[in-house]
Structure 1
Amino acid sequence: MKLFRRLASATLLALAGTQAATAQSVAVAVAANFTAPMQKIAALFEAETGYTAALAFGSTGRFYAQIKNGAPFDVLLAADEKTPAKLVEDGLALAPTRTTYAVGKLVLYSRRPSVVDDKGDVLKQVQTGKIAMADPKLAPYGLAAQQTLQALGVYEQLEPRLVMGESIGQAYQFVATENALMGFVALSQVSAPGQTQPGSSWVVPQALYDPIRQDAVVLARGKNNPAALALLKFLQSQAAHDVIRSYGYGLGTTP
């Protein structure tokens, strides 16, 4: 009888563990520019709460289309504030959970040390070489790059030399592999804590493009998932803020 009770208890514990494991996971769609910091934050989140985060990285525009088509994500960390707002309007996200987790910064970057000057004058001087940027229709950082070129009055002149990436991650790869002479990327991609990226860069003045307020939101699928709500709360913690700042982002507030 005692053996039976022990076996029964073990079976119940195993079943409970399986159910808990399912409930303790959150599927997160993350804007490509936030790849490195989110990987660190996810590890801290798991250590602090016991919940795990399954991360997928890509362009905000692609994620919007996927979520509209039923993609199984619980949380979106977008590269803008408009996409989460649209998802709320579509009934696909929870309005009270929407929060600005970071404010992004745009950088013109080249792997070559002597290409990009500290004022961005290279955009008006160099007549050859490809310039990478994310697609403005899909990625907020791409839109910021387009706004920068337009504000400088060089967009039409440089348009034939532009190479579009689907996401800021792909734009960075064009530059990192030197398939493009230079490109507009996120500051976080070239200012990782404790690492020095070879090359030259110019941090674009924020007066040249609309603020890149990056919002997070719990999606309809994550409504009853405690791990999803816990992740949004953790993004506002001191531990998460320290990581976010260390990658060059500003901190936001709830819209």
Structure 2
Amino acid sequence: MKSPFRSLALFAVLAGTSLLAKADEVSVAVAANFTAPMQKIAAEFEKATGHKAQLVFGSTGKFYAQIKSGAPFQVLLAADDETPAKLVKEGDGVAGSSFTYAIGKLVLWSPKAGVVDDKGDVLKAAKFEHLSVANPKLAPYGLAAMETLKALGLADSLQPKIVLAESIGQAQQFVSSGSAELGFIAYSQIHKDGKLIDGGSYWLVPSKYYSQIRQDAVVLNKGKGQAAVTALVAFLKSPTAAAIIKSYGYEL
């Protein structure tokens, strides 16, 4: 006669195996400005669903090139709305799957207090050697930065001082390391729950100076019909994700 305890233990093992078999991974290309919130969202996503999100961070422009070259991403969280729309139009994204997950804000930032004033007049004074800006051809925040300089009539005069970064993440690194005294980055990179994460000084650039940074997500062809992908998209639209996104200063 079989022991009821052994039968119960076997059932528990089989049940656990079944649950693990249902859990899956989703490969996600994430715009660099969304690094911190997406790491937190991914952790909550795994807790809630059992699925894991494998995250790769970088510039939207580079991700586009990689996707066109066959990169195995299943979901793209871009820093604009144009790239997801383009991928759908070109047959690399699933039609009807794109949606806006956040609206970003641009800031001019220095890790040192008193360097950047709250009106951005530091740009006009130009008493600095280097200004970090993400490559506008690759990063939407870099494009927004250049739009701002043009709107202020400073694009030409400050051009010699601009240090181009591959992504908004690298733009922040240039400033943090001292390679540039100040730079244009995403508000979310220095902001959490209404407070400055790393201190310093910043100017929240008025939205009138640049095109709205509407950040869209899109399911790519390699993710079509995948359970973990469907679950992640649903979670990104959940109140839990919305609260995290807002806490980093994004609008929805």
The Cα of 1:139 is off from its aligned counterpart by: 0.2
Identify the residue that residue 57 of structure 2 maps to in structure 1. 57
Identify the residue that residue 250 of structure 2 maps to in structure 1. 249
How many Å separate the matches in 2 of 1:18 and 1:229?
17
Distance verdict in 2 for CA 1:160–1:218, change over 3 Å: same
How many Å separate the matches in 1 of 2:20 and 2:47?
19
How many Å separate the matches in 2 of 1:107 and 1:86?
27
The 5-angstrom pairing of residues 157-176 of structure 1 reads: 157-176=157-176
SS of the counterpart of 1:65?
A: helix
The 5-angstrom pairing of residues 163-242 of structure 1 reads: 163-193=163-193, 196-242=197-243
How many Å separate the matches in 1 of 2:66 and 2:47?
30
The Cα of 1:51 is off from its aligned counterpart by: 1.2
Identify the residue that residue 74 of structure 2 maps to in structure 1. 74
Q: Is 1:112 matched up with 2:109?
A: no
**Matched residue type, 1:165:** A
How many Å separate the matches in 2 of 1:146 and 1:183?
12
SS of the counterpart of 1:224?
A: coil
Normalising by structure 1, we get a TM-score of 0.90
**Matched residue type, 2:180:** A
Distance verdict in 2 for CA 1:52–1:118, change over 3 Å: same
Worse-superposed segment, 145-154 or 233-242: 233-242
How many Å separate the matches in 2 of 1:122 and 1:172?
18
SS of the counterpart of 1:216?
A: strand
How many Å separate the matches in 1 of 2:139 and 2:197?
26
The Cα of 1:224 is off from its aligned counterpart by: 1.9
Worse-superposed segment, 9-18 or 39-48: 9-18
How many Å separate the matches in 2 of 1:10 and 1:189?
44
The Cα of 1:122 is off from its aligned counterpart by: 0.7
Distance verdict in 2 for CA 1:9–1:45, change over 3 Å: closer
**Matched residue type, 2:244:** V
**Matched residue type, 1:201:** Y
SS of the counterpart of 1:188?
A: helix
SS of the counterpart of 2:117?
A: coil
The Cα of 1:11 is off from its aligned counterpart by: 10
The sequence identity of aligned pairs, in percent, is: 57
Once the two structures are superposed, residues 43-71 of structure 1 have per-residue CA deviations (whole angstroms, 9 ceiling, x without a partner) of: 11111122110100000000000000110
Number of aligned residues: 248
Unaligned ranges ≥5, structure 2: none
The Cα of 1:17 is off from its aligned counterpart by: 6.2
Q: Is 1:135 matched up with 2:149?
A: no
How many Å separate the matches in 2 of 1:27 and 1:72?
7
The Cα of 1:198 is off from its aligned counterpart by: 2.0
Once the two structures are superposed, residues 114-136 of structure 1 have per-residue CA deviations (whole angstroms, 9 ceiling, x without a partner) of: 11110001100023320001000
Identify the residue that residue 151 of structure 1 maps to in structure 2. 151
Distance verdict in 2 for CA 1:10–1:242, change over 3 Å: closer
Could you list the runs of 4 or more consecutive aligned residues of structure 1 that deviate by over 6 angstroms after TM superposition?
8-15
Worse-superposed segment, 10-19 or 50-59: 10-19
How many Å separate the matches in 2 of 1:40 and 1:196?
15
**Matched residue type, 2:206:** P
Q: Is the 8 A contact 2:99 2:216 kept in 1?
A: yes
Identify the residue that residue 88 of structure 1 maps to in structure 2. 88
The Cα of 1:232 is off from its aligned counterpart by: 1.1
How many Å separate the matches in 2 of 1:229 and 1:124?
48
Unaligned ranges ≥5, structure 1: none
Normalising by structure 2, we get a TM-score of 0.92
Identify the residue that residue 20 of structure 1 maps to in structure 2. 22
SS of the counterpart of 1:198?
A: coil
